[in-house]
Amino acid sequence: MRCIFCKAPSSGSSSREHIIPESLGNKSHVLPRGWVCDRCNNYLARKVEDPFLNSFYGRHARFEMGIPNKENRVPPITGLHAQSKSAVKVWTEESGLHIGPTRKEDGDRLFRSLLTQKSGTLYLPISDLPPPDYVTARFIGKVAMEIMAHRCLDVEGWNQEIVDKPQLDELRNYVRLGRPGFVWPVHIRRIYPNPLSIALRRTQARLSIALSRAVRVQSTDGTGP
């Protein structure tokens, strides 16, 4: 058994490789131990997956779909409270939608507005498609290599076939080593509509909410989670 990325012997590796990161909701689509060595597993998580998950698209898509990370927390996003002209952090918990000021100095203005007005307008940016940039291309290349390996799990000799196939070296090296300045061509299209995105588009990204009823403001330190 050898790693499909670095080609090093990997029979002693202990890590299972999630084809789609757990932070995007994947629990079952994984490669068994050995297909990706421990070293590459760690590298891919830090250098390929994390930049994509923490990009504008990654954070907003996870918020819109309510996908928690490994700590069971949905990442917050930043919006604008129109009445107080304050940038706010927006996050979700079991009790509902929460907002708080992104800057402590904006807290008083935001809270006064919430306490004196029965309703307000909250503007939230929406994610559409990930940009076809370097971060996205490496992430998709990583997923593509692993999906191919996953389809060959039960085929005898295919670990060696994938590892030794020179036609795959350019992609595996792009994913594992990087190539700054070069964006691997990718094609991206949406298959399933995002209900929240549709709703926000129809209202031109404006959510009119009864803040006194639907939103609890956390004012502990003014920063949210």
For 204, which DSSP code?
T
One domain for residues 33 and 124? no
- Tally of CA atoms within 13 A in the half-sphere of 53 that contains its CB: 19
The pTM (predicted TM-score) of the whole model is 0.79
Residue 185, in any domain of the structure: no
- Tally of CA atoms within 13 A in the half-sphere of 104 that contains its CB: 2
Residue 207, in any domain of the structure: yes
One domain for residues 83 and 123? yes
Residue 8, in any domain of the structure: no
Tally of helices (H runs) and strands (E runs) in the chain: 9, 8
Cβ partners under 8 Å of residue 118, min gap 6: 210, 211, 212
One domain for residues 21 and 48? yes
Cβ partners under 8 Å of residue 36, min gap 6: 3, 4, 5, 10, 13, 15, 17, 44, 146
Domain that holds residue 31: 17-53+132-177
Residue 9, in any domain of the structure: no
CA distance 168 to 161: 10
**Closest to 214 measured CA to CA, from 107, 90, 127, 104:** 90
One domain for residues 124 and 21? no
For 8-56, the pLDDT digits (tens) are 999 999 999 999 998 888 888 999 999 999 999 999 999 999 999 999 9
Evaluate if residue 145 carries a pLDDT over 50. Answer: yes
One domain for residues 119 and 149? no
For 174-199, the pLDDT digits (tens) are 999 999 999 999 999 888 776 555 44
CA distance 214 to 119: 10
Structure tokens belonging to residue 89 = 């952090």
Burial string for 9-19 (b: 16+ CB within 10 Å, else e) reads: ebeebebebbb
One domain for residues 151 and 118? no
> Number of folded domains in the chain?
2
